Structure 1
């Protein structure tokens, strides 16, 4: 029987975006059907396989994309979000393949679900780009999104602290205003896609918070203090308001975590 680790590695080493999303969903289906052994017995690659396009640029070289009022601005914003969701497939799969063998099946259940969600999100955004006359890969994209995985490859607590509890939580902060900008110009199709992604992201942040708490409790660590220490030492950016306190609270990420260390 194929192992969970082997399946995860295969997804990570699939370069074509559409093949990768299909592979992630197939991995999720195989796990749910009991066709993957709960073993993470192969090494995960340091860098996933990605396509030649989009061109990846450093953050300071990324072109300004505006606020999304014009169609060109909306396409640029949707493309940026599609890239985030594409990389998020690999982030979820790497978490499973790198650390899933050390956790109960419920951990894999949660993160397999996240990987399948990210694959679906990418498909929705790419289809919307095509409806607007573009496609994923047509514009440059942010080169730094995988850094959080590289920086936390040695420590599952650090990975959970940074990826779902910082990066995805930031999506909870900014997505509602983005939805309203799309609605303000009559782009209900894009707004509905982003609303769906937003609702799923609450579950993703919840999964991160739940498993972070559980691992801290298992190791006898103070949950909030450990999270704050990891963010200070492992996150390259800073936590910036405004925060969507309500959505964060729904995900278990209460103000006691981030209010003290926010810049």
Structure 2
């Protein structure tokens, strides 16, 4: 089997548990798979494969609930499960969609997909202890929307999905963990420890391939980034920022200085 068509078939799987299992198996067998980086694959309709639930609504329409209430705590964990499911899909899309890249690129993103699958299963397993399952709450589609919007622009994909939207998780996770400690859900805190540690590596992969793509195109990665943010209307990044995690993920001092400029001034650069 070839790695890239296999990733596309996995992306088409509707059932989250089946998708996670297939992705983990693909990663376990990565060294035995063939790889044709130059193949241009036909895109099937209906990407990505996903279940009928959760119902997808605009971000502002997702109900806000207190984590201090059992239903609010479950909704918080459901939101994380949804993020991790979408992260499986975006990693698989990165594997199959872009031809002509170094083999290491495809192996990197297959590893990301497998780790995101593990994250999704961990969170869904914990959600079950709270009396709920994936699909019980409404969710929004922001992560996949940006993945789809950048499907024809490899540099923008690397800039705006892993190192922008996923990097927001580096900032948000410690704050979520504080909420979970407040209500005594230490099992969830431990799950998020795993997710945060591995997400640093995922963002680092995005940083690496963004800079690689910029060098190949003769672009300055720091100067290009704000232009891509404006072009694709990426979400505004607001403090607090987890600077230690961002440094570990490969953001440069120059990038972190720019990030901490107040948003209105930053958007004029």
TM-score for the superposition, normalised by structure 2: 0.91
1:124 to 119, 122, 125: 122
The alpha-carbon distance between structure 1 residues 205 and 108, as it changes in their structure 2 partners (threshold 3 A), is same
Please name the residue that 1:220 is paired with. Answer: 218
Do structure 1's residue 111 and structure 2's residue 112 form an aligned pair? no
- 1:3-14 alignment to 2 at 5 Å? 3-14=2-13
1:105-143 deviation per Cα after TM superposition (whole angstroms, max 9, x unaligned): 111221111100100000000000111111101111113
1:164-200 deviation per Cα after TM superposition (whole angstroms, max 9, x unaligned): 1101110011101111211122111000001110111
- 1:106-255 alignment to 2 at 5 Å? 106-255=104-253
Secondary structure, aligned partner of 2:143: coil
C-alpha distance in 2 between matches for 1:171 and 1:234: 20
C-alpha distance in 2 between matches for 1:45 and 1:145: 20
Gaps of 5+ in 1: none
Please name the residue that 1:61 is paired with. Answer: 61
- 1:7-22 alignment to 2 at 5 Å? 7-22=6-21
Secondary structure, aligned partner of 1:242: coil
C-alpha distance in 1 between matches for 2:252 and 2:148: 27
C-alpha distance in 2 between matches for 1:43 and 1:253: 35
C-alpha distance in 1 between matches for 2:33 and 2:148: 29
C-alpha distance in 2 between matches for 1:221 and 1:156: 13
Please name the residue that 2:23 is paired with. Answer: 24
Please name the residue that 2:267 is paired with. Answer: none
1:34-67 deviation per Cα after TM superposition (whole angstroms, max 9, x unaligned): 223234431344621211111111112211122x
Secondary structure, aligned partner of 1:107: helix
What is the aligned-residue RMSD (CA, Å)? 1.6
Secondary structure, aligned partner of 1:102: coil
Aligned residues: 259
Gaps of 5+ in 2: 265-269
CA contact (8 A) 2:105 2:209 kept: yes
TM-score for the superposition, normalised by structure 1: 0.93
Secondary structure, aligned partner of 1:253: coil
C-alpha distance in 1 between matches for 2:121 and 2:233: 29
Superposition deviation, residue 237 in structure 1: 1.9
Superposition deviation, residue 30 in structure 1: 2.7
Superposition deviation, residue 262 in structure 1: 3.4
CA contact (8 A) 2:143 2:165 kept: no
